[in-house]
Structure 1
């Protein structure tokens, strides 16, 4: 019997590399792995459904659930996780010395529905008492003019939001003081270039993120793996096949990262940092599935997503995923 040919678009990650190298092959599937930048994958999948399987922004996926029928089914494979306190920036003269100072300010964001931005608006609301509607929002291209929301959203009157002028970028407006702050997944160019006009709102990023995890037990989930619904409905078995393969690819990544005969990655203190991560977050610190920690993490995100006007209703984590990927045979 021929294997099912599927194309998967995903980033270049150690935790998925075995799928790209074909050292791990999903049961019954011939997988063509396209290593693409996340913005390109998200745009092409959300707008044109180009791939049978793809990495997708968690927020974009939850937005897509408003469609009837929803175009994708997710697997509890978290291709990207990241603490995002580093994502808040401010103009040095804007009077933003702490998150509490964001109240009444003008804040830029490349897209309102970006997962990292949903997370950090929620965190600032929960932990610093400044909800997302306490400041104004400006959307647009960070480094290149003309960016639009890849997932169409209708916020109604729930938020003060408007696009930046045509031909302008968020990075230049932040440096020049035309916006007070910026929340974004990517480092803005002025900050990367050492421009003194731009600073981080959380200067001790690592300290803030460790404190956040210690208090909440949340390691934010950014991206999930999705299967196009028409493929899933024809072949529901692909959910379990892909999930098992993703787990094995991650196991290989864990194992190779702890090979101390030679550093696998260009990071001088890789081994002690790995050991510290295990001590703080547990041995399976990049866990997949819907265990208690991931359930708590996803519940927090879904609450933020709904509170910020991006979800039509408050969903539960169980609603997000193919049931076949949440269950396994007991031998």
Structure 2
């Protein structure tokens, strides 16, 4: 019997991925050589720019941008992270921002303009609160994971070494979007007065919880060894069994279509991508 193929992988450690990372979910066809990363987002730029991994967790906005710029990646219909985003948008507790509509004309910090949390929040600000992306003065601190992308004219770069949290607390920023590192600080509060109600309003309008991270593979592997991609997808689906995370092309269709539209409206894509482009290269056996 042939030895299993080894794929270089970058997958975050979650409760639902532990069985794969520990080897409890295994395969006779493939082994995953998983990088030890402090946070999964550290893999995104190396995957897109250098093809450092065979398999990588990937932010939905980064993947769509990568496809638009011709990166040879294939998306698997498997979600690793999804959440309501409203709790990540903070302002000062004693500041003048009382709700989302107040952000028009304000200075709002975000790690990168292309950050997926920012993409979902800008979509909500525009659709539900009348604040278009270009109505806000965005201050960014990092480049996009896709090197070819340049921020739109309504975003500017903070000074080298500037700290977003410090700028928010000092009043240099009116609000800021965080991620998994959202601070718990009594000097700050959420811009959305009721984040639970705001999240449920998004779900009622669109039918899903915003998707942050999926999984992608190098297109060469999908072309030359499609059986490995089918088996990898099987392993990931087994790991996710019982979770509420969407799996499968049909389940992910609403999220992919809305994310693609939001990205185009916000200047992250030159145009929305169709579902045929999103799933390009995926073996037909994977629904």
**Considering the TM-score relative to the shorter chain, is it more than 0.5?**
yes
Partner residue of 2:282? 323
Contact kept in structure 2, 1:289 and 1:326, CA below 8 Å: no
Contact kept in structure 2, 1:243 and 1:325, CA below 8 Å: no
Aligned mates of 1:301, 1:176 — CA distance in 2: 33
1:169 and 2:163 equivalent? yes
Q: Across the two proteins, how many residue pairs are aligned to each other?
A: 284
Deviation string for 1:53-93 (max 9, x for gaps)? 1101111111111333x231110111111110111111334
Aligned mates of 2:123, 2:150 — CA distance in 1: 16
Residue ranges of structure 2 left out of the alignment (5+ in a row): none
* TM-score, normalization by structure 2: 0.91
Q: 1:311 to 1:27 in 2, by over 3 A?
A: farther
For residue 121 of structure 2, give the secondary structure of its aligned residue in structure 1.
Answer: helix
1:233 and 2:191 equivalent? no
1:287 and 2:271 equivalent? no
Deviation string for 1:212-234 (max 9, x for gaps)? 21232121111111111232232
Partner residue of 2:119? 118
Contact kept in structure 2, 1:106 and 1:135, CA below 8 Å: yes
Partner residue of 1:54? 56
Aligned mates of 1:223, 1:78 — CA distance in 2: 6
Larger Rg: 1
Equivalent residues in 2 for 1:77-92, closer than 5 Å: 77-92=78-93
Partner residue of 2:143? 148
Deviation string for 1:285-317 (max 9, x for gaps)? 3121122x5211221111000111111221123
Aligned mates of 2:150, 2:56 — CA distance in 1: 26
* TM-score, normalization by structure 1: 0.80
Aligned mates of 1:34, 1:112 — CA distance in 2: 26
Partner residue of 1:269? none
Contact kept in structure 1, 2:222 and 2:283, CA below 8 Å: no
Q: 1:202 to 1:75 in 2, by over 3 A?
A: same
Offset of residue 130 of structure 1:
0.8
Residue ranges of structure 1 left out of the alignment (5+ in a row): 141-146, 255-283
- Superposed CA RMSD in Å reads 2.0
Offset of residue 134 of structure 1:
0.8
Aligned mates of 1:188, 1:217 — CA distance in 2: 25
